[in-house]
Amino acid sequence: MNETRMLIGGQLVDAEGGASFDNVNPATEEVIGPVADGTRADMARAVGAAREAFDTTGWARDHEARKSGLLQLQAAIEAEQEELRAELVAEAGAPLLLTYGPQLDAPLREALTWPAEMIDAFPWRRALPVKNAFGTGDAEREVWKEPIGVVAVIVPWNFPMEILLNKLGPVLAMGNTCVVKPAPDTPHTAARLGRLVAEHTDIPPGVVNIVTAQDHEVGEVLSTSPAVDMVAFTGSTATGRRIMAAAAATVKPVFLELGGKSANIVLDDADLEATLAGAAGCCMHGGQGCAISTRLLVPRSRYEDAVELARASFENWAYGDPTDPSVLQGPQISARQRDRVLGYIDQGRAEGARVVVGGGRPDHLPRGYYVEPTLFADVDNTMTIAREEIFGPVLCIIGYEDDDDAVRIANDSSYGLSGTITSGDVERAKDVARKIRTGTLGLNGAIWYGPDAPFGGYKGSGIGRQCGIEGLEIFTETKTVGWPAAPTT
Ligand code: NAD
């Protein structure tokens, strides 16, 4: 059964006035079921509950309560892991296979437990040298880290559980309370999490609140409310800008995980055949991943070989029904997103890029918001399809002259989220990596991902890092305290 209620102040509740909206399966276009359609008043009540829980309970100081709360939540999710898996496939169009990896099982393994383990290990106090700054006597000095307070957690639909768990773990471990706003396209998994918090954990009422809403604007309450101390957002760069501007009025810190247009750089000493056998991998989950490398940079001298190898990869790529365990690409999340992707494909053609594979809607999948895996050649880095985040199963192949040219093209982007580099010599790949302005890079097929690995972007890809020590520290405030040093005898 899908959970339809929201979690506010420890209670599972309907929306004010009882309004609901339908959650739709993007693979079938059928209604999965209703879910509460929270209003601004519901969001304000959730903020009030989070504020009260932060100000009046011992949560912020109680390490043991936080550790056990996180571990109870972990156990509760594991107990409903299969229901959650089916729900993710249904509402996000997430290929089943991906739920055994990045969509669910991978984050579930450590996203809550690693921050729980770090609660005691985190450097909450740091002593500074005793100092006599003004000639008025020695002072003992310490730097204290404290929870930041009420954190707004605003998440997108593409990896709804992965992103939510990787925010919730650090936010709660650091002693904060929160209001979660899931995307309207994936409300049921978040609502389920709310029920698990309420019914299967001792996390105090108000520490976690989850408000589902169809209208994006309901989320604005979070960036403008003086009772919210920080906004932690994952989503598009356009929305990130709006949130940052709205948060400026109350001078709250924002932590933004935004879009990407990452480069997959294949150096001229790489095994081109082996590397490009996986070229269509960028179509995973319909290309709806912010860290996917969507610009394939290959040596100009081997350009046509690269196009043919990538063509073979795209032609052999299985896509379709996300419940089919052999596919890695399901539908786009909505008709709107599908049409947006198709619009970019048209623009690519109009600007002179060559469609090598795909380029439209698949005839054999008349239901569901599918787009063909699409490979573009003859792409210049100035074209719209090379500059803007398409968030679809679309790869652009761009030729480069030498390593410096590859670096120049990779960095010639308003984004700076991720990327990959392949070389016959990993030291050469590292040399190139040092010059790439992005927050993460995978060299020679290695995967950097983990709850201990900071993830986030340079430039337009965001501010701050999720996960790792940096991802714990970001949810803290810093207080410097001095007191008279004991007289030395
Ligand atoms: P989106 O920006 O449209 O929405 C994200 C969330 O913000 C949703 O919950 C939405 O309801 C909410 N929202 C929208 N307007 C708001 C407002 N004014 N105030 C408060 N909340 C508001 O993004 P999306 O379409 O859901 O997700 C796709 C985007 O997310 C892509 O650009 C992708 O690159 C990005 N993304 C980034 C990362 C990352 O870690 N960098 C990860 C996944 C997705």
Determine the average pLDDT of the residues in 326-335: 98
Q: How confident is the model at residue 14 (pLDDT cuts 50, 70, 90)?
A: very high
How far away, in angstroms, is 374 Cα from ligand 1 center?
Answer: 24
Q: What pairs with residue 83 in β-bridges? A: none
pTM above 0.95, yes or no: yes
Residue-wise pLDDT for 185-230, tens only, equals 999 999 999 999 999 999 999 999 999 999 999 999 999 999 999 9
Catalytic residues: 257, 290
Question: In this structure, which residue's CA is closest to atom 36 in ligand 1?
Answer: 235
Question: What does R_g of the chain's alpha carbons equal in angstroms?
Answer: 24
Question: Does 488 have pLDDT greater than 90?
Answer: no
Residue 33 has pLDDT above 80, yes or no: yes
pLDDT band per the 50, 70, 90 thresholds, residue 46 = very high
pLDDT band per the 50, 70, 90 thresholds, residue 444: very high
For residue 232, the CA-to-ligand 1 centroid distance in Å is: 11
What pLDDT digit, counting tens, does each position of 128-177 carry?
A: 999 988 988 999 999 999 999 999 999 999 999 999 999 999 999 999 99
Q: Is residue 355 classed exposed, middle or buried when 0-12, 13-18 and 19+ CB atoms within 10 A define those classes?
A: middle
Question: Which pLDDT score, from 0 to 100, does residue 1 have?
Answer: 84
Six-digit token pair at 205? 């009422």
Cβ(272) – ligand 1 distance below 6 Å? no
Average pLDDT in the chain: 97
460 lines ligand 1 (CB under 6 A): no
Mutate-to-test residue for ligand 1 from 6, 40, 151, 154, highest number of ligand atoms within 8 A of CB: 154
Ligand 1 pocket, 181 CB below 6 A? Answer: yes
Task: Tell me what the mean pLDDT of segment 47-59 comes to.
Answer: 98
pLDDT surpasses 90 at 489: no
What's the pLDDT at 136? Answer: 86
Atom of ligand 1 nearest to the CA of 259: 34
pLDDT at 487 over 90: no
Ligand 1 atom nearest the C-alpha of 182 is 9
> So what's the pLDDT on residue 318?
96
Q: Write phi, then psi, for 367 (nearest 5 degrees).
A: -105, 145
- Give yes or no for residue 270 CB within 6 A of ligand 1: no
* DSSP conformation letters of 148-159: --EEEEE--SSS
Give residue 329's pLDDT.
Answer: 98
CB contact at 8 A, 186 and 91: yes
Q: What does DSSP assign to residue 184?
A: T
Spatial separation of the C-alpha atoms in residues 460 and 463, rounded to whole Å: 8
Q: Ligand 1 within 6 A of 439 CB?
A: no
pLDDT per residue over 221-240, tens digit each?
Answer: 999 999 999 999 999 999 99
When pLDDT is averaged across residues 356-370 and rounded to a whole number, the result is: 98
- Residue 73 burial (C-beta neighbours within 10 Å; 0-12, 13-18, 19+): buried
Determine if ligand 1 sits within 6 Å of the CB of residue 286: no
In whole angstroms, give the CA distance from residue 448 to residue 170: 19
pLDDT grade for 400, boundaries at 50, 70 and 90: very high
> Residue for token digits 């060559």?
354
